Amino acid sequence: MDLSTSFCGLKLYNPLMPAAGPLVGDFEKIMAIESFGVGALVTKTISTKAAVVPRPCIYGDNNKIMNAELWSEYPPEKWIEEILPKLKMHCSVPIIVSVGYSKEDMEILIPKLNEYADAFEISTHYVGKDLDVIARTVRTISNNTNKPFFMKISPHIPDVVGFAKMAKENGASGIVAINSLGPSMIIDIEKREVLVGNEEGEVWTSGPSIKPIALAIVNKIKEAVPGFTVIGVGGVSSAEDVIEFLLAGADAVQMLSSAMIKGKDLYEKILNNLPKALEYYGFKSIQEVVDTKLIKGNVSFHPKYPNIDLKICMGCKLCERICPYFAMKVDLKAKVDVATCFGCGLCETRCPVNAISGIF
């Protein structure tokens, strides 16, 4: 199975790479992630000064990471003089250097980092929503490197298509979509206080819970700016998620939060499972997924009613309890009242034994 992908002159053995964050915060961490077989590496975001990070700073559950982390806790000098030269010597895959945040930062950092980067990822997380301001940053980067660079979009940007078009018009090679959602908050009821957060009590949310938003933004950008590279990030946790992002329009994907939830060896597990998942869904290569047109717009306004397999139904009454239209009734087995059923599909998606079908 051919897992390779390429974009903007970068050739990857496979489409999976880490996202910028704590797992790629120094040489040893980055090399540990490389050992899992990822197709490229991304550094933690480097800025003009070291970040001062509150502790604790990361909260996780089964579906998300909420963090008050910032950019790299190391000054740029440590990256330039120590970490990146060692990475350049030892890494066998492309190195994408993550940099933030302002035009002024780019003027200082890009020339100093350029010799160590195969490409750049530029975070705009803290520079507001004004596309004219961000455009000046993009032009500054373009004037300071001939390497590919990808602008990372934060979901607070109101016009994601406008952001992508602006980035392309000013010299960017592509988009990374999306950054963490926020601000968010975690409250401890017993202590009557915020559990983790910055001085405003705020954190940023990432992981599987944001995947539907990330998929939609990736697809929206790819449809509006065809041919523009998109790297998908936000909720990847399985081989199937990788395929979904590629179908949505991504050329490659990043993952970080799920590796913090499930374990760092998740990179290796996903790559081991990816050939089987591709084969199961009828694909012969990653490139075939990338080239596949996602079907959209087959919208019907006429209801289809659920079919209930009485041999499978166990009479748990979940469908009856959750039905928004009060159309499901359960005695020993589930039964649908077509006179009140709206054909919404919720029962089919929530049935724990897959006894309901026919709507999707």
- Provide the pLDDT for residue 155: 79
Quick: pLDDT tens for 322-357.
Answer: 999 999 999 999 999 999 999 999 999 999 999 999
Q: What is the DSSP letter of 22?
A: G
In a domain, 198, yes or no: yes
The closest alpha carbon to 204, from 59, 18, 61, belongs to 59
On the question of pLDDT at 129 being above 90, the answer is no
205 and 265 in a single domain? The answer is yes
Between CA 247 and CA 293 the distance in angstroms is 7
- Provide the pLDDT for residue 156: 83
* Cis geometry, peptide bond prior to residue 183 (ω within 30 degrees of 0): yes
Of the three residues 262, 291, 320, the one that is the final residue of a domain is 291
Quick: pLDDT tens for 212-234.
Answer: 999 999 999 999 999 999 999 99
138 and 270 in a single domain? The answer is yes
233 and 352 in a single domain? The answer is no
In a domain, 350, yes or no: yes
On the question of pLDDT at 208 being above 90, the answer is yes
- Provide the pLDDT for residue 125: 83
Task: Give the helix/strand (H/E) hosting 66.
Answer: strand 65-67
Given pLDDT bands bounded at 50, 70 and 90, which one contains residue 133? very high
- Provide the pLDDT for residue 339: 96
45 and 138 in a single domain? The answer is yes
Only one residue has tokens 């990030």, namely 233
Say which CATH number the domain at 340 has: 3.30.70.20
In a domain, 105, yes or no: yes
332 and 216 in a single domain? The answer is no
Q: What is the residue-wise DSSP string for 222-261?
A: HHHSTTSEEEEESS--SHHHHHHHHHHT-SEEEE-HHHHH
Quick: pLDDT tens for 299-314.
Answer: 999 999 999 999 999 9
Contacts of 241 (CB under 8 A, 6+ apart): 211, 235, 253
In a domain, 187, yes or no: yes
CA trace torsion 321, 325, 331, 336 (10° rounding): -140
Structure tokens at 336: 């649908």
34 and 151 in a single domain? The answer is yes
Quick: pLDDT tens for 3-39.
Answer: 999 999 999 999 999 999 999 999 999 999 999 999 9
Helices and strands counted in the chain (H then E): 13, 20
On the question of pLDDT at 112 being above 90, the answer is yes
- Provide the pLDDT for residue 128: 82
Number of domains in the chain: 2
- Provide the pLDDT for residue 126: 82
CA trace torsion 7, 12, 16, 19 (10° rounding): -70
At residue 267, the 3 state secondary structure works out as helix
Say which CATH number the domain at 203 has: 3.20.20.70
Rounded mean pLDDT of the chain? 97
193 and 338 in a single domain? The answer is no
In a domain, 298, yes or no: no
In a domain, 301, yes or no: no
81 and 128 in a single domain? The answer is yes
Q: How do strand 252-255 and strand 16-18 relate by DSSP bridges?
A: parallel
195 and 256 in a single domain? The answer is yes
Quick: pLDDT tens for 53-102.
Answer: 999 999 999 999 999 999 999 999 999 999 999 999 999 999 999 999 99
For residue 229, how many other CB atoms are within 10 A of its CB? 22
In a domain, 28, yes or no: yes
287 and 315 in a single domain? The answer is no
Mean per-residue pLDDT, 279-299: 96
Q: What are phi and psi of 354, to 5 degrees?
A: 60, 40
Given pLDDT bands bounded at 50, 70 and 90, which one contains residue 255? very high
Mean per-residue pLDDT, 97-123: 97
In a domain, 178, yes or no: yes
251 and 314 in a single domain? The answer is no
- Provide the pLDDT for residue 127: 82
217 and 243 in a single domain? The answer is yes
Contacts of 239 (CB under 8 A, 6+ apart): 270, 273, 274, 276, 277, 278
Q: Which domain holds residue 205?
A: 5-291
- Provide the pLDDT for residue 216: 97
